[in-house]
């Protein structure tokens, strides 16, 4: 048993793809036309870090209730944990891309960690080896 996909509510498919693929270096696994239960056109967009099994479904907000959670999917807590082999290179990549850093790098018993926010404001831990 494993978690295959996690939904991330986004404001715009292309903007989300640009961030996750262009900035973080995720792979675009799928981008297919689909239809919402309401009959509206939507897309099935899946991204995932290279070599990862778990991916993100980038789901465009559909209505005020979903728009209200944009950037707040974990109520202000860290929602996602991105583990990398080369912490310094990954950190430099996101800083160079202008990604806001909430808490700079620090060393913890479990490794190096920094907190950043995605383009919507969701908090992420960037985790690497000690």
Per-domain residue ranges for the chain?
A: 1-70, 71-130
The CATH superfamily holding the domain 1-70 is: 2,3-Dihydroxybiphenyl 1,2-Dioxygenase, domain 1 (3.10.180.10)
Each residue of 16-43: pLDDT tens digit? Answer: 999 999 999 999 999 999 987 777 889 9
Each residue of 50-103: pLDDT tens digit? Answer: 999 999 999 999 889 999 999 999 999 999 999 999 999 999 999 999 999 999
Predicted structure pTM score: 0.93
Residue 99's Cα: distance from chain center in Å? 12
Each residue of 116-129: pLDDT tens digit? Answer: 999 999 999 999 99
Second CATH level (architecture) for the domain 71-130: Roll (3.10)
- Give me the residue label for tokens 């005020």: 64
Token readout for 69 is 């959670």
């Amino acid at each position: 048993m494993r978690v295959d996909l996690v939904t991330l509510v986004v404001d715009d498919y292309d903007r989300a793809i640009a961030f996750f693929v262009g900035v973080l270096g995720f792979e675009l696994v799928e981008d297919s036309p689909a239809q919402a239960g309401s009959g509206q056109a939507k897309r099935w967009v899946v991204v995932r870090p290279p070599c990862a099994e778990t991916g993100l479904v980038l789901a465009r907000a559909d209505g005020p209730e979903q728009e209200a959670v944009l950037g707040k999917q974990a109520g202000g807590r860290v929602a996602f944990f991105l583990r990398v082999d080369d912490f310094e290179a990954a950190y430099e990549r996101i800083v160079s891309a202008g990604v806001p850093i909430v808490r700079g790098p620090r060393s913890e018993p479990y490794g190096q960690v920094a907190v950043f926010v995605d383009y919507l404001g969701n908090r992420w831990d960037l985790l690497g080896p000690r």
